[in-house]
Amino acid sequence: MRITLLNPPFKGRFSRASRSPAVAKSGTLYFPIWLAYATGVLEKAGFQAQLIDSPAQGYSPDNTISLVKGFNPHLVVVDTTTPSIHSDLAISGAIKRTLPKAYLCLVGTHASVLPEEVLLECPSADSVARKEYDYTLRELAQNLAGGVGLDGVAGISYRREEKIIHNPDRKMIEDLDALPLVAEVYRRHLVVEDYFFAAARYPMSMMITGRGCPHRCIFCLYPQTFHGRRYRLRSAENVAEEFAYTAKELPQVREVVIEDDTFSADRERMRAIARLLIDAGNRLPWSANVRVNLDFETMVLLRACGCRLLIVGYESGDSQILRNMHKGITLEQMEEFARSARRAGLLVHGCFMAGNPGEDRRTLSATLRLALKLSPDTAQFFPVMAYPGTEAYHWAKERGYLLADDFAQWCTPQGLHSTIIRTEHLTPDELVRFCDYARRIYYLRPRYLAYKLWQSLSRAEERRRNLKALRTFLRHLF
């Protein structure tokens, strides 16, 4: 049985796997990591799989459909996101018209939250595989190949005659070590040079060491719509194995980005990974998403095993806004984190937001002041993106702050981040203007420019990263 897994084309280099899917101003483009995991699972089960990443490979809709047609799959899996959903469903329909006998299944965050809505909008789609779909697709493919009905396939919503049937949710995967190494799938199907993360050395690879996040931030997409709130872990040994595989089989990779929502949520296991990497003599730099409660001693250990950069959500410079978004951190922790990271020799990529409940001009000013004070190596300023299935979306919709119903307005005509929510005090345009203003103030400081010039001249790897990001970012900065 042949299976195509498709990251469909949309607006050029649309980063569909990002937590806020869009064409990034920095040029960042994520690996299609969830499609890649499912590809590996299906191949391990004996199926012949084709993984197409149209945004990374620059394929147009016509190119994409031609590639799918050439493979002649029995099952086609199409990824979806909120900003791209209308285009995703249009591509799905075109594929079905080209291959009317193929079974068409939709996956991704948007389809997971609104399965009935997308099936009604896209009559060509046969089903939706909700949430984590690795094993759901495997069972679906096995049943289709064996001519078995779909009643027992947990995690799918599907058509039966004139009705849409929602089977019970599938249990989240507990034994993550049983999944294939995603780096193996990258090697077989993708070109790592096609991907870019502005804060990481180029070319990079992406890895997941655990799924889910125990924290309660109201805006975060994947824990609320896809993986759940509980942090499920790969073993430290399994993670170290993927580092070793990447270093050997993908020698062009200059950094591994650990894309867990919060890698530091289980600190003892994080330290165990660090010790294994030290024992193995790891020389592959890496970065990870962490929280500001990470202690200095652990940072020193992480630095010793190859960690180069910590990605952290500072979000706001106002304590009440932090409470309103259920962030669970303090301004004092942020300052201590920044000092500790600097002492440990680690770079920081700081994330800041505009538009959470209670936001006004005063709190936005506090956020910019905090960003300038903490002065991370790189910083991002984004308006809140409220996606269906998140608390932020429900908050905005219930209060009448959601100003559009058309999901196409979740990004600009160019595919860039947009926002369609207001706060009690600010309009969407004011939130976007603040982010643009904060970005210019932050990056055009003479002190920051001098620091980046020194970094680029003194470290060849950082120079390559800075120049690649600058080429894309500069036109948006002004």
Domain ranges of the chain: 2-166, 176-477
* Strand pairing report for 307-315 and 286-290: parallel
Closest CA to 160 of 146, 152, 149: 149
Q: Which amino acid is residue 386, in one-letter code?
A: A
pTM to 2 decimal places:
0.95
139: alpha, beta or left? (left if phi > 0; alpha if psi -120 to 50) = alpha
User: Can you give 381-442 as a three-state secondary structure string?
Assistant: EEECCCCCCCHHHHHHHHCCCECCCCHHHHECCCCCECCCECCCCCCHHHHHHHHHHHHHHH
Closest CA to 305 of 356, 239, 353, 252: 239
Interatomic CA distance for residues 54 and 48, integer angstroms:
19
Vertex 197 angle, CA 196 and 199, to 5°:
140
Tens place of pLDDT per residue across the chain (478 aa): 999 999 999 999 999 999 999 999 889 999 999 999 999 999 999 999 999 999 999 999 999 999 999 999 999 999 999 999 999 999 999 999 999 999 999 999 999 999 999 999 999 999 999 999 999 999 999 999 999 999 999 999 999 988 999 999 999 999 999 999 999 999 999 999 999 998 999 999 999 999 999 999 999 999 999 999 999 999 999 999 999 999 999 999 999 999 999 999 999 999 999 999 999 999 999 999 999 999 999 999 999 999 999 999 999 999 999 999 999 999 999 999 999 999 999 999 999 999 999 999 999 999 999 999 999 999 999 999 999 999 999 999 999 999 998 999 999 999 998 899 999 999 999 999 999 999 999 999 999 989 888 988 888 778 777 777 776 666 666 6
Residues 6+ apart with CB under 8 A from 151: 165, 167
Residue 461: enclosing H or E segment and its boundaries?
Answer: helix 460-477
Beta strand residue intervals within 70-109, DSSP E: 75-80, 103-108
From residue 183, alpha-carbon distances to 31, 83, 253, 369 in Å are: 10, 28, 11, 40
* Tokens read off for 367: 């956020």
CATH of domain 2-166: 3.40.50.2300
The class of domain 176-477 in CATH terms is alpha beta
